């Protein structure tokens, strides 16, 4: 009797065409976006020659500059706050004994992932409107708080996964050597945890950087981020300048992924040594 071969999805009928179709649907629009960002004409669908003009115009556009700076400030602040909260939440849900209500706490932390973003945006709008009426403050802190709250679960998941995969023997050994909880965390846990922290912070940064729905509902006048600025431009007239800005955002995201990969790989090799 012939031996039955192990199941291999790559040998299934139609796998290759279906895989190629999925890749085309995913990446062909991105490729076209990048290509037409170098279009010499104003059309986003008709190629009229190669040019850098839209990158130059976007770079020299003061509104784009202001929106970019504001986006980076909000994303960096939200990333730091969300990652700090995510680290504490991950420690509280992985380094403690099981307790009644653990499932509820886990669901509460991940609530922004389960509820439609528009619902979160409307809820934040109402909540912050009440605070604005009571205090009169309409500054940038509302956007930072809103982005931080929304980004916490995105930072929490990789940090929690990293903690669950870590060996507890080193932490227990540190505690047996009379190390305080803070010293054990700083000297033992954090050096092993930092790839997860880095992944969570980068994910939170990217999520905050390209958020539109929550920003559109929470922001006050004159607080356009880069995505909301692009949305406003597309409502008026669509030019390859939007493609150029989108390509720049794509490049930043790819650079962050590559940096995380290199740093995490370096950190893994150091831990093995």
pLDDT tens digit sequence for 27-38: 898 898 888 888
Residue 3's SS3 state is coil
Number of separate domains in the chain: 1
R_g over Cα of the chain = 23
Structure tokens at 76: 């960096």
Q: Is residue 193 part of a domain?
A: yes
Taking only the tens place, the pLDDT of each residue in 107-119 is 888 888 888 889 9
CB atoms within 10 A of CB 122: 14
**CATH code where residue 247 lies:** 1.10.3720.10
Q: Is residue 154 part of a domain?
A: yes
pLDDT recorded at residue 1: 46
Instruction: Report angle CA 214, 215, 218 to the nearest 5 degrees.
Output: 85
Q: What is the DSSP string of 154-213?
A: HHHHHHHHHHHTS-SHHHHHHHHTT--HHHHIIIIIHHHHHHHHHHHHHHHHHHHHT--H
Q: Is residue 105 part of a domain?
A: yes
Contact 113, 186 (CB under 8 A): no
**Over pLDDT 90: what percentage of the chain?**
18
pLDDT recorded at residue 233: 80
Taking only the tens place, the pLDDT of each residue in 215-257 is 999 988 888 898 888 888 877 777 788 888 888 888 888 887 7
pLDDT recorded at residue 269: 55
Q: Is residue 9 part of a domain?
A: no
Taking only the tens place, the pLDDT of each residue in 125-149 is 999 999 999 998 888 899 999 999 9
Residue 95 has pLDDT above 80, yes or no: no
């Amino acid at each position: 009797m012939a031996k039955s071969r192990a199941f291999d999805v790559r040998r299934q009928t139609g796998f290759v065409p279906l895989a190629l179709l999925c890749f085309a649907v995913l990446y062909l629009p991105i490729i076209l976006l990048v290509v037409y960002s170098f279009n010499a004409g104003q059309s986003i669908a008709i190629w009229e020659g190669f040019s850098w003009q839209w990158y130059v115009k976007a770079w020299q556009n003061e509104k784009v500059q202001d929106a970019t700076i504001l986006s980076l400030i909000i994303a960096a602040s939200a990333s730091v706050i969300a990652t700090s909260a995510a680290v504490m939440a991950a420690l509280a849900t992985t380094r403690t004994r099981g307790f009644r209500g653990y499932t509820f706490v886990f669901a509460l932390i991940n609530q922004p992932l389960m509820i439609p973003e528009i619902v979160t945006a409307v809820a934040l709008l109402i909540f912050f409107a009440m605070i604005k009426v009571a205090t009169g403050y309409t500054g940038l802190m509302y956007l930072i708080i809103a982005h931080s709250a929304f980004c916490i679960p995105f930072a929490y998941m990789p940090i929690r996964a990293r903690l669950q995969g870590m060996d507890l023997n080193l932490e227990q050994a540190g505690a047996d050597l009379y190390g305080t909880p803070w010293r054990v965390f700083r000297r033992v846990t954090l050096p092993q945890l930092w790839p997860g922290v880095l992944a969570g912070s980068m994910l939170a940064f990217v999520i905050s950087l390209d958020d539109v729905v929550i920003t559109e509902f929470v922001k006050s006048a004159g607080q356009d981020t880069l995505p909301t600025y692009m949305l406003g431009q597309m409502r008026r007239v669509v030019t390859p300048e939007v493609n150029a800005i989108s390509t720049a955002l794509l490049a930043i995201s790819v650079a962050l992924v590559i940096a995380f990969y290199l740093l995490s790989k370096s950190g893994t090799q150091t831990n093995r040594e």
